[in-house]
Amino acid sequence: MSTASQVATHTAPADPAHPAVGAAISLLDAYAPGDHFLATPGRTLLARGPRRHVPHDERPLTARVNATLAAAAAAGQESPVVIGAIPFDHTAPAALSVPESVRTAPALASDPLIALPATPPTTGTWEIRQVPEPEIYGKGVAAAVERMWRGEFSKVVLARTLELTSDAPVDLPAMLQRLARRDPSGYTFALPTAPGRTLIGASPELLVSRHGKQVVANPLAGSTPRSSDLAEDVRRAATLLESAKDLHEHAVVVDAVHQALAAHCTELTVPARPSLIRTATMWHLSTTVTGTLRFPDTSALELALALHPTPAVCGTPTQTARQVIAEMEPFDRDFFTGVVGWGNAEGDGDWVVTIRCAEAEERTLRLYAGAGVVAASEPEAETAETAAKFRTFLSAVGAEL
């Protein structure tokens, strides 16, 4: 049975070993602003039509999602799913809804047509404002390191933004095409978060997935920019695998994920050492954690909320790191370092860490990038890491920092 058939009834089952050529690309090509688009290594989803929005009230988010799915089913909707975004502060309003129709296809990476190049960005003028400026960001990193040496906390993830303004409206479909074709094995998304506003990105990091009793998490922490020179690129990857600073940062995140999932899973498997994954711009230390669900009614969304935020996007201890972020970052993260994904009434779903993203509205884009700061961090290196992470989006819109 195709994984696609588990999500919606609008697409006939397909054999994953022989995916229809163009099936996934057709959904990518069909995306229009206001749609929900989400591509994962397992499936591609395009949702549209009248929606039931998940309300924001005093009930836990999982209860509100379950109630919205149940109402859709009671109204006659077959196999409804919830899709959308949850902010960094998951007590803030989420942008989750149950769409009227969901079309599905195999993964983008399995579609041979994904190898065709996207149309290059048109030459335009982008006005770029850095918030904060690199020098100020570096001073913030140094201040955080000093506080760590005083024993206040052990890690914090500090972010900065680029505010891009164009003389023409943002072309979301073209941007999505370039993001998807550049890293087709990752998690590409374009999700409405408010009228006229879209969260768009290409994240490399799975927070958690649940399919039946099987649970998978793939924390990433510890990164280095890639190089266009093959020998240098390999050297950087090898150096990352042996970096004491990055291995420590990664171990902190994996331990937090392990502890959070242990309460929900049996037979939890955690590799002793990380491996490497790559995107077009970055190398990341990666660990794939797998387990078997202890209680069958625990949903993928419940697992995601138990994990979020991990030290990879916040820090440790979590509450202290949150406070440091609030004190030091001169902007609201909103949906950056939150969660995007989908889930169904049976509890299956995929939830992804919202990084390598931007919020688009009319003629503006706000790009986000962060770096994990530990006691061994150097301001120049962390500033360079955020600049490298910005390259994912800058290349998609034809802008340079």
Task: Kindly tell me the burial class for residue 121, based on how many C-beta atoms sit within 10 Å of its own C-beta (0-12, 13-18, 19 or more).
Answer: middle
Backbone φ, ψ for residue 354 (5° rounding): -85, 85
User: Tokens at residue 76, please?
Assistant: 């006659």
> What angle is formed at CA 224 by the lines to CA 217 and CA 320, rounded to 5 degrees?
60
Q: Partners of 386 in the beta sheet?
A: none
Task: Kindly tell me the burial class for residue 95, based on how many C-beta atoms sit within 10 Å of its own C-beta (0-12, 13-18, 19 or more).
Answer: buried
Give, in order, the Cα–Cα distances in Å from 395 to each of 74, 108, 162, 175, 389: 45, 20, 14, 10, 11
Q: Of 88, 369, 370, 45, whose CA–CA distance to 189 is shortest? A: 45
Spatial distance between the Cα atoms of 173 and 186, rounded to a whole number of angstroms: 18
- Which of these is catalytic: 205, 249, 329, 382? 205
Q: Residues 75, 216: contact at Cβ < 8 Å?
A: no
Whether 205 is catalytic is: yes
- Which of these is catalytic: 152, 155, 267, 302? 155
Q: Of 295, 306, 260, whose CA–CA distance to 61 is shortest? A: 306
Residue type, 303: L
Query: Which residues belong to the active site?
Result: 155, 205
